[in-house]
Amino acid sequence: MNAHLAARRKQDPKFVLANDGVHANPTGHWLMTQAICDYLRQQGIRTGQGVSLDDQGPKDSHLLEWKCVLDAPMDPAWNADSLALERSHYLLNGNWIHATPLKAPRFDVTEGGQVVGTLTAYELQAPDSLGADLRNLNGLSINQRTGELLKLVQRRQRVLTDAWLNEVGHLRPGMAKGLPVAEAADEAERLYIQIVNLVQPTKLTLKLVPNAEPFPGKKSDWHGFDRYEFLVAGNTASVVVPKKSAPGNPWVWHGEFFGHKPAPDIALLGHGFHIVYLSVPNMLGSPEAVSHWNSLYRELTRRYGFASKPALVGLSRGGLYCYNWAAANPDKVACIYGDAPVCDFKSWPGGKGKGKGSAGDWKLILERFHFADEAEALAWKLNPIDNLAPLAAAKVPLLHVFGDADDVVPWDENTGLIAERYEKLGGKIELIRKPGVGHHPHGLEDSTPIVEFIRKHTAP
C-alpha cells in the first residue's frame, strides 16, 4: 500500500487511501484484497479470474463485492477459509517442534516398580512462548508466556494507533490522546524487541532421571559389578551392569558357559559394556533357542535401550547358538568372537569326523531340531559352516581362538571350514592359533586382542 501510495502521489500529491486517515477507501480495500490473494497463491491456491487494478484505481464501491475465488474442481476440504484457519492456528499457536536426539543413555520408565518403557533425552526447539500446548508427564504446561505476549502486542498496537489518530486529527468519543508519532515509534520499537525476545525459539533439554535399579529380579555381585537375573519369556536372563554405560549402550552376549574365563568380560565391563547371558541349556542353537534369543533381544533393545548390534561370544557349543542366531539376524550383529566354537553339529556332538563326539548330546540334537532320524540330521544344510552367506553380506567381522590339538571340537572341521568359506564369500575373519593346545584351556593368557576386537567393532 505504501508503494502504491507513493507512486500515485507523484501524479496527485493529495491522493489518499483513507479519506479520514484511518479507514481505507475502495482502492485501499482492493490493495489489501490483492495482497491476500497473492499470499494464497504462494500457498498453492489459485484465483479464479485474473483481475488487475488499473492505474486509476476502482471507480465505484461495487468493486468491494469482488472476491478472490478458487478454481474448480477442488477438494471441498481445501478452501480458502479452512486453509487460512488451519495455517493461522498452526503458525500463530506456534505448534511446531524440532527435536534432535542427544547422544545420551536411554532411561527407563517404571510403573508399579516394573519397567514399562524407555525414554531418550532430546533437545527440543520450540516457540514455547506461542501457545504451543507442550506438557510434561504431570500435565503441567511448559508454555507460560502466551498471555504476556498478547499484552505486549496489544500495547504496541494501541501506542501506534493512538499516536496516528492524534496525528491525523481523527476524533471519536473516548479516544485517548496519543504520543507524538516520533515518541510512539520509539516506544513501539522497544515493545517490538520485547516481543521478538519472547517468541525466539527456546532450546529445552529434557533431563530424565534413570532408575536406581534398572533391572528387575535377583541382584547379586559378579566380580564387583551388579548382576541381575530375571525371566524373559520363561527363561532366566542374566545381565551384568557396568559402573557407567559407554555411549550407545554396547553389550556382549554369551551363547553358553557364561562366567568361564571371565577376564575379557571384566575388562569390557570397565569399558562400559553390559554382559548378557540367556539360560536355554541343552537347546544347542536349535530354532527354539533362536526364538528365545529373539525375545531377549527385543526386551533389551526396546525396554532397556541396549545397542541394536551386540557382540556375540560363542565358546564351545555356544558357537551353535551365536552363529545360528546371527544367520537369522545378520543385521543385528556387531561381531562374533568364537572360542573353540562348534560350527557343525556333525563334528560335535555327532563325532562323524575326527572328534570324540557326545552320544547324549547327539541325541539332543535329533530331539531339539526335530529330525526324524540321523540321516535327516546329517543331510541338514544350515549348520554354521553352511550358512555364512548372510553374515558375509552384512560384513560381520569374526575372530576365532582355537587350539590346533583340539580332539573334542577339531579346529579343521569347525574353525578351519568357517575361515576358508567365509573368506571366499568376501568376509573378514581373524584367527589366533594356540599351538599344541586342545579344547581346554579356553581363552588367552592376555585377553587384550579379544577385548580390542570387540571394542573396535561395537564402537557407535
User: Which residues have C-beta within 8 Å of that of residue 216, sequence separation ≥ 6?
Assistant: 113, 114, 115, 228, 230
Q: Is the pLDDT of residue 309 over 90?
A: yes
**98-101/429-434 β-pairing:** unpaired
pLDDT for position 193: 84
Mean pLDDT score of the chain, rounded to an integer? 78
Spatial contact of 408 and 348, defined as CB atoms under 8 Å apart: yes
CA gap 116, 396 in Å, rounded: 32
pLDDT for position 101: 43
Q: What is the mean pLDDT of residues 436-456?
A: 97
Q: What count of other Cβ atoms lies within 10 Å of the Cβ of residue 281? A: 10
Q: What count of other Cβ atoms lies within 10 Å of the Cβ of residue 380? A: 14
Q: Is 125 exposed, middle or buried (0-12, 13-18, 19+ CB in 10 A)?
A: middle
Q: What are phi and psi of 337, to 5 degrees?
A: -110, 115
CA gap 277, 322 in Å, rounded: 11
Domains, the chain, in order of start with CATH, read 1-92 (no CATH), 98-212 (no CATH), 218-458 (3.40.50.1820)
Of 312, 239, 311, nearest in space to 279 by CA: 239
Q: Is the pLDDT of residue 442 over 90?
A: yes
Instruction: Output the nine-digit C-alpha cell for 439.
Output: 579344547
CA 237 to chain centre: 26
Q: Is the pLDDT of residue 132 over 70?
A: no
Q: Is the pLDDT of residue 50 over 50?
A: no
CA gap 354, 278 in Å, rounded: 31
In the block, cell 557407535 appears at 460
pLDDT for position 199: 64
Spatial contact of 425 and 392, defined as CB atoms under 8 Å apart: yes
* Partner residues linked to 237 by β-bridges: 230, 278
Half-sphere exposure of 110 (CA within 13 A, CB side): 13
Summarised one tens digit per residue, pLDDT across range 240-269 is 999 999 988 999 999 999 999 999 999 999
In the block, cell 478472490 appears at 68
User: Which range has the worst mean pLDDT, 17-31, 388-402, 425-439?
Assistant: 17-31
User: Which ranges in 299-379 belong to alpha helices (H)?
Assistant: 318-328, 359-368, 374-378
pLDDT for position 316: 97
User: Which has more pLDDT, 349 or 202?
Assistant: 349
Place 112 in a pLDDT band, splitting at 50, 70 and 90.
low
Characterize 300-334 residue by residue with b for buried, 16 or more Cβ atoms within 10 angstroms of its Cβ, and e for exposed. Answer: bbebbbbbebbbbbbbbbbbbbbbbbbbbbbebbb
Q: pTM of the entire structure?
A: 0.58
Place 75 in a pLDDT band, splitting at 50, 70 and 90.
very low
Q: Is the pLDDT of residue 144 over 60?
A: no
* Partner residues linked to 122 by β-bridges: 101
Q: Is 256 exposed, middle or buried (0-12, 13-18, 19+ CB in 10 A)?
A: buried
Name the packing angle between helices 80-92 and 26-42 (round to 10°).
80
Percent of the chain with pLDDT over 90: 51
Q: Is the pLDDT of residue 55 over 70?
A: no
pLDDT for position 327: 98
Q: Is 101 exposed, middle or buried (0-12, 13-18, 19+ CB in 10 A)?
A: exposed
Q: Is the pLDDT of residue 452 over 70?
A: yes
Q: Is the pLDDT of residue 376 over 90?
A: yes
Q: Is the pLDDT of residue 31 over 90?
A: no
pLDDT for position 24: 78
Q: Is 348 exposed, middle or buried (0-12, 13-18, 19+ CB in 10 A)?
A: buried
Place 148 in a pLDDT band, splitting at 50, 70 and 90.
confident
Instruction: Output the nine-digit C-alpha cell for 210.
Output: 534413570
* Partner residues linked to 186 by β-bridges: none
Distances (CA, A) of 12 to 5, 23, 440: 10, 20, 106
Most confident region among 66-75, 93-102, 210-219, 287-296 by mean pLDDT: 287-296
pLDDT for position 117: 53
Give the H or E element holding residue 38: helix 26-42
